[in-house]
Amino acid sequence: MKAVVQRVTQASVTVGGEQISAIGRGICVLLGISVEDSQKELEHMVRKILNLRVFEDESGKHWSKNVMDKQYEVLCVSQFTLQCVLKGNKPDFHLAMPTEQAESFYNSFLEQLRKSYRPELIRDGKFGAYMQVHIQNDGPVTIELESPAPGAANSDPKQLSKLEKQQQRKEKTRAKGPSESSKERSAPRKEDRSASSGAEGDVSSEREP
């Protein structure tokens, strides 16, 4: 699942020349649903959108408050074209969830959004309709969000960082192993003076980043 979140001063949706939805300050969310998306990806995206800190606090500190903190509005618009892949210069949308499934899934997304926040502050467009979406981007501020791929292991950045550090330690241990063992074997041999002279200057220059 992909989402483009824009901080706005106002946004609206028009269908057939008639405005069907509008918000003031808040966020406008363009949502692209993948054929592989499930309830897990849905819940992940709802959490990310509502907790995304794109607003300033009372003291003017940027990136401090989310839409719920500020009690602002949310406008959601389904946009399957976010699941586009290019074949040459032609857009292909085979990764997008089919219309029949996507409408039900999108309605579940809106329901979860309303359960997690104030339902009267959630607005949406008209699924499957030809819409004109008017967005007054504030900043501009535009954030792209993407849910972890279904079945992806260790998607948590902290866990990835931990695993990377473990791998680095293993690589260092393997690199040092032969030289340390050779020093241990050569230590009792006092007559081999040339071996000790080479080892004494072997000091690692690696530093933590």
Angle at 38 between CA 96 and CA 142, to 5 degrees: 60
Return the SS3 of 60: coil
DSSP letter at 167 equals H
Tokens of 125: 């467009």
Which one from 6, 55, 79, 109 is the annotated catalytic residue? Answer: 79
d(CA 42, CA 105): 8
Is 80 an active-site residue? yes
**Cα-based torsion angle of the residue sequence 63, 64, 69, 75 in order, rounded to the nearest 10 degrees:** 10
Out of 19, 81, 159, 167, pick the active-site residue: 81
Reported residue count of the chain is 209
Please confirm, yes or no, whether 55 is among the known catalytic residues.
no
Nearest one of 52, 51, 29, 54 to 109, comparing CA atoms: 29
Q: How many whole angstroms separate alpha carbon 8 and alpha carbon 29?
A: 10
Residue 81 is a catalytic residue:
yes
> Virtual CA dihedral for 187, 190, 194, 196, nearest 10 degrees?
40
Catalytic residue from among 6, 55, 80, 83: 80
| 123's tokens | 């607005």
What are the residue numbers of the active site? 79-81
